[in-house]
Structure 1
Amino acid sequence: MTPGQIDGVNGRPLKPRRLLAALNTLGLRWKIAALLAAGCAVVAVAIGLLVHQARLDQVGASARSGASGQLVRVRQLYELTGQVDHDSTRDGTRAAIDAPGLPEPLREAALAGRRSTYLDMDSADPAVWAARPVGDRVLSVRLPLREQADEMAEFDQQLLVSGAVVVALAALGGAGLASRLSRDLRAAATIARRISQGDLDARIDHPLPPGFRHGRDEVADLATAVDTMAASLQRRLEAEQRFTADVAHELRTPLTGLHTAAELLPPSRPTELVRDRVCALRALTEDLLEVARLDADVERPDLEVHPLAALVDSMVQRGLFAGQPTDRGVRFEGVGERLVRTDARRLERILANLVGNARRHGGDPVELSVDGAVVTVRDHGPGFPEHLLREGPQRFKTGARERGQGTGLGLTIALGQAAVVGARVELANAPDGGAVAVVRLPEA
C-alpha cells in the first residue's frame, strides 16, 4: 500500500499522512524544532543501539570467558576424582554430566567434539553455558547472569534517559535558533501587509550582519528586497500623484477661461453642447485634484456629532442629489435615529458620488435609506461587475459595458473620503438584482 492510500480494512487514512498534516499546521519555528528533534532522535537511537550492542558483546565475552575457565577447572576435578560437584559454587555455578537443561545446539556441538559456549540473555533466567565432550557424554557448566542482565537493563534505561534529554535539548535549541528566523519572517510579512494597504513608508530595516554578502543570509536578502521594492513603489506612486496633481492644477486656469468664454456664446444647441462638455471637463479636473489630495494623505476631517437620519434627510431636502446626470428621483427612508461622529461635508460628497453612480449606471428606482449608523444606496440595474467586487474600484475603469460610461473616479473618491472620516464602504449586489453600496459610520 502506497502513502496516501486508504486502509481497506477500517477505511481510515494511513498514520504517516495524518502525521504530515499535523506537522503542516505548525509554525515554522516548531517545524524546525520538530525536524531537528527527529534528526537527533534518529542519531540517538543509532548511537544507543551501537553502544548497547558493544556493551552486550563486552558482557557476553566476559561471561563466556568465565564459563570456559570454570569448565576447565571442573574437567580437571572430574579427571582426578571421576566425579562432578553438582552443588552450587560460591558464584552460583552449576556443573553436571548430561545436564537436563543443556541447550540442544550446545549439546550437539559438544558431541561433535567441540568445546563451545552458549549465551542466553533473553530468558527469564539468563545464563551462560560452557560444554565439552567426556567420552560419549557431555560435561557442562552453567553460570547465572542475573546480575549482568540487571546491569544491562539499568544501562539501557540510562541510554534512554540520556537520549531523551539530548532530544529535548535539541528541540529547545532548535526552537531557540528558529525563533529569530520566525520573528524576522513575521516582521517581513507584517511590513508587506502594511505596504499592500497603502503604508508606503513602512520598512523592515533588518540589521545587516558584518561583512554581509548577498546569498549568505536569506532573511537579510528578503528584508533588503522588500525594502527596495517598497522604496521603488513609493517613488513611482509619488511621481504619479505629483503628475496627476500638476496636470489638474495646470488645467484649472485655461478651463476657467474656457468656461467664461462658453457663457458668452449666443444661445443655441451647439452652445449647450459646448457648455456641457466644459462643465464635464471642469468636474473631471476637480475630481483629479481631489484624488491627488487623497493619495497624498493631506485631507483632515472636521469631525462633529450629528444625528445621521436627520443629516441625510436635510441633504435630500436641500436638493443635494438634484444636480445628478438624470432627472430621476431618489427614494429616501430613515429608520432608527443614531448619533454619529463624522464630517458632514465629506459625507455629502460620499453620498453624492454613490447616488450619482447609481443614477448614472443603475436602474430605477434609486433608494437611499438610513438604519441606525448605516446608510444604504441601492439601484435596480445590472449590479456591480464581479471584478469590481473582487478588486475594488479602479480609477478610469468603469466596469461592465452595461453599466454605462464614466471616469471611474466617483467610487474611488467615495471610498477615499470614507477612509478620511473613519467610515467603511461595502459594495455588493442584491440577490434580486441591482447594486448595493453600504456606508457604515462610527457612532458617537
Structure 2
Amino acid sequence: MGLRGKLGLIFLLVSSLAILVLCVAVYTQAQSSRLDRTRSFADERIQFAADSYDRSGVTVFGSRLDDPDLPPQLREAVLQGKRATFKTGSPNAKMWAAVMVEDGQILSMVQDYETTDDSMKALRQALVLGGIGTVGLLALVSVILAGSLSRRIVAVAGTARRIAAGDLDASAAEAVGKGKDEVQSLATALDTMASSLRGQLEAERRFTADVAHDLRTPVTGLTTAAELLPPGRPSELVRDRAKVLRRLVEDLLEIARFDSGVEQADLELVGLGAFVGSAVGRLRMQQALAPDSVVVHRTAPEVTVSTDSRRIERILANLIVNGLRHGKPPIDITVSGRTVEVVDHGNGYPEELIAEGPRRFRSGMAERGVGHGLGLTIAAGHAKVLGAELTFGQAPGGGALARLVLPPEPGARS
C-alpha cells in the first residue's frame, strides 16, 4: 500500500473512531435524559394518583393497591416511607412508581418503558445515517488531502532520482510548489544538497581538466627525453613509467572532455559481430596477446547498427584490458543482436561497482589488482555518448560480467 492509501486509511480510522465515540456519547446521554424524564413523569402521576385516592378512595391512571407484581426493591423502599420509582431490566422493561397511601396500602402504577418514547428510535436512525454520511465525507476529504501530500512527496522523490541520474539542475522546491510545511522543508534541503554537490562536481571537473592540461606538455617532454636515453635496464624502466604517466594524462583529458559535455558520436552503419571480431584482432596485435586470451562468440545472426565504431572499439579495449589486468584469461566476448558481453574468469567486480557504477580513481577490491579506476569510467563515458547502456555484474559461472546494449534507434546523447 502506498503512502496515499496509508494516510487515507489512518485519517479514515481516526475519524471513524471519533464519530463512533461521539455517537455513543450522544445516544447514552439521550438515554439518560429519557430515563430521567420517564421517572419524573411516573413520579408526578403516582403523586397525583395518591392524592386523588386519599381524597376520594378511587384509583386513577390504572394504579393498583398492593399489586402482587410489585418489584421487591420498590416495595422495600415504599415501606421505608419513600415515594419511589423503579425500572426493570430488558427485555420488556417497565417503569414502576409506588407510594404509601393513608390507609397503609401501597399504591402503584406501571408503564411500558421501551414503547413509551419513539424519539430514541428516530435518534438511533439519525445517528447511524449521520455517522455513515460523515464517515463517507471524511473518507473523501482524507483521500484528497492524502493524495495532495503523496503527490508532493512523489515529486520530491522524482527530483531526487533525476539528481541521482545526473540532472543537478532539477529543483525539488519547484516540483512541490509553494508551502511552509515539512515537505517544503525536505524539498529545500534536497535542493541545497544538489547545489552543494553541483559545486563539488564542478570543482572536481575543473581540477581534472586543469591537471591534465598542465601535465600534458611536461609529460610529452619527459616521454621524448626518455626515448633518448641509452639502452639499458634503467632506461627501460624510465620509458615504461613515462608511458604509464602519458596514458594517465590522456585518460584524464578524455574524462575532462566527457565532463565538459562536448563529445558527440560520429554515427555510421556497422555490422556489430564482424566489427567486434576485427576490433579484438587489432587489440591482440597492439597488446601482443595470445590468440586464446580473448575469444569472440556469436550467438545470433549479424545485426547492423548505427553507431560510432571508434567509441565501440574504445569501450571493448578498456573492458578487455581491465579483464586481463584484474581478472583471469580467457576473456569471453559474446555478441548477440545489439548486445555485447565481456566476461573474465577472475574474482568478479566488487559489489560497490555493480551497485553504483565505475568511479574514477577507485579500482575496487584489492584482489582485483591496483589501478586508477579510469578504464571503466572512460568506457561508461563513451557508452553514454552513444546512448548505450553499460552495466556491470557477476557472470553466472563466476568472474566479472560487463554488458553493453546499443540503442535500437540511431541517435546519441552528449
For normalisation by structure 1, the TM-score amounts to 0.81
* Number of the residue aligned with 1:289: 253
**Greater mean alpha carbon deviation, residues 68-77 or residues 185-194:** 68-77
Of 97, 108, 129, the residue aligned with 2:65 is 97
> Which residue of the other structure, out of 306, 311, 320, is the alignment partner of 2:283?
320
C-alpha distance in structure 1 between counterparts of 2:118 and 2:68, whole Å: 26
Shift in Å at residue 84 of structure 1?
A: 3.7
Change (3 A) 1:324 1:202: farther
1:416-427 aligned within 5 A: 416-427=381-392
Letter in 2 for 1:308: L
Structure 2 contact 173–184 (Cα < 8 Å) conserved: no
**Offset at residue 353 of structure 1 (A):** 0.4
Q: What SS is found at the alignment partner of 1:377?
A: strand
Alignment match of 1:222 (pick from 186, 190, 200):
186
Q: Does 1:132 align with 2:130?
A: no
Change (3 A) 1:326 1:226: same
Structure 2 residue 32 is matched with structure 1 residue 57: yes
Following superposition, the deviation at residue 44 of structure 1 comes to 3.0
Identity %, equivalent residues:
45
Alignment of 1:27-176 (within 5 A): 27=3, 29-80=4-55, 82-84=57-59, 94-120=62-88, 123-134=90-101, 135=103, 137-176=105-144
Partner of 1:439: 404
Does the 8 Å CA contact 1:339/1:443 hold for their aligned counterparts?
A: no
1:260 and 1:128 map into 2 onto residues whose CA distance is: 119
Could you report, residue by residue, the CA deviation over 1:180-237 in whole angstroms, capped at 9, with x for unpaired residues?
Answer: 333222211211122122211111234555xxxxxx6323322222111111110110
Contact 1:384 1:429 in 2 (8 A): yes
Aligned equivalent of 2:297, options 333, 339, 342: 333
Aligned-partner Cα distance in 2 for 1:37–1:333: 61
Secondary structure, counterpart of 1:323 in structure 2? helix
The Cα offsets for residues 127-179 of structure 1, whole Å up to 9 and x where unpaired, read as 42211124554221123345444321220221232233333333433443344
CA distance in 2, matches of 1:246, 1:336: 46
Map Cα deviations across residues 99-119 of structure 1 (whole Å, 9 max, x no partner).
344333222222332111123
Structure 1 residue 379: Cα displacement: 2.0
Question: Where do residues 332-411 of structure 1 align in structure 2 (5 Å cutoff)?
Answer: 332-337=296-301, 338-411=303-376
Q: Partners of 1:100 and 1:347 in 2: how far apart?
A: 110
Matches within 5 A, 1:224-243: 224-243=188-207
Give the partner amino acid of 1:237. L
Alignment CA distance shift 1:179-1:351 (3 Å)? same
- Residue 81 of structure 1 deviates from its aligned partner by 5.2
Give the AA of the match of 2:271: P
Which residues of 2 match residues 17-28 of structure 1 at below 5 A?
25-27=1-3
Shift of 1:375: 1.4
Task: Give unpaired runs (5+ residues) of structure 2.
Answer: 410-414
Cα distance change of structure 1 residues 142 and 402 upon mapping to structure 2, 3 Å threshold: closer
In the superposition, relative to structure 1, how do residues 420 and 99 fare at CA in structure 2: closer, same or farther (>3 Å)?
farther
Quick one: distance in 1 between partners of 2:330 and 2:25? 85
Larger displacement relative to structure 2 (344-353 or 55-64): 55-64
1:55–1:430 distance in 2 versus 1, CA, 3 Å: closer
- Whether the aligned pair in 2 keeps the contact of 1:336 and 1:371 (CA below 8 Å) is yes
SS class of match (2:283): coil
Question: Which SS does the other structure have where 1:357 is aligned?
Answer: helix
- For 1:76 and 1:382, locate their aligned partners in 2 and report how far apart those are by CA, in whole Å: 109
Per the TM alignment, residue 401 of structure 1 is displaced from its structure 2 partner at its CA by 2.8
Q: Per the alignment, do residues 303 and 32 of structure 1 end up closer, same or farther by CA in structure 2, a change over 3 Å counting?
A: same
Whether the 8 Å CA contact 1:394–1:409 is kept in 2: the answer is: yes
| Residue matched to 1:17 | none
**2:47 and 2:235 mapped to 1: Cα distance?**
134
CA distance in 2, matches of 1:190, 1:100: 82
Cα distance, 1:140–1:385 mapped onto 2, change above 3 Å: same
Preserved contact between residue 126 and residue 149 of structure 1 (Cα < 8 Å): no
| Of 380-389 and 228-237, the range deviating more from structure 2 | 380-389
- Give the direction of change, closer, same or farther, for the CA distance of 1:59–1:432 in structure 2 (3 Å limit): closer
Aligned CA distance change for structure 1 residues 174 and 422 (closer, same or farther; 3 Å): same
SS in 2 for 1:320: helix
Matches within 5 A, 1:239-258: 239-258=203-222
Query: Using the alignment, how far apart are the partners of 1:50 and 1:345 within structure 2?
Result: 81
> Within 5 A, what are the aligned runs for 1:266-281?
266-281=230-245
Aligned to 1:15: none
Contact 1:426 1:437 in 2 (8 A): yes
Matches of 1:297 and 1:126, distance apart in 2: 89
1:267 shift after superposition: 4.1
RMSD across aligned C-alpha pairs, in angstroms? 2.8
Q: How far apart, in 1, do the equivalents of 2:278 and 2:351 lie?
A: 34
What TM-score comes out, normalization by structure 2 length?
0.86
Q: What is the rounded CA distance, in whole Å, between the counterparts of 1:233 and 1:189 in structure 2?
A: 17
* Stretches of structure 1 lacking an aligned partner (at least 5 in a row): 1-24, 86-92, 210-215
| Post-superposition offset of 1:124 | 4.2
| Contact 1:321–1:352 (8 Å) recurs in 2 | no
The counterpart of 2:152, out of the listed 184, 192, 201, is 184
Secondary structure at 2:236 match in 1: helix
CA contact 1:321–1:356 (8 Å) conserved in 2: no
What displacement does 1:377 show?
1.6
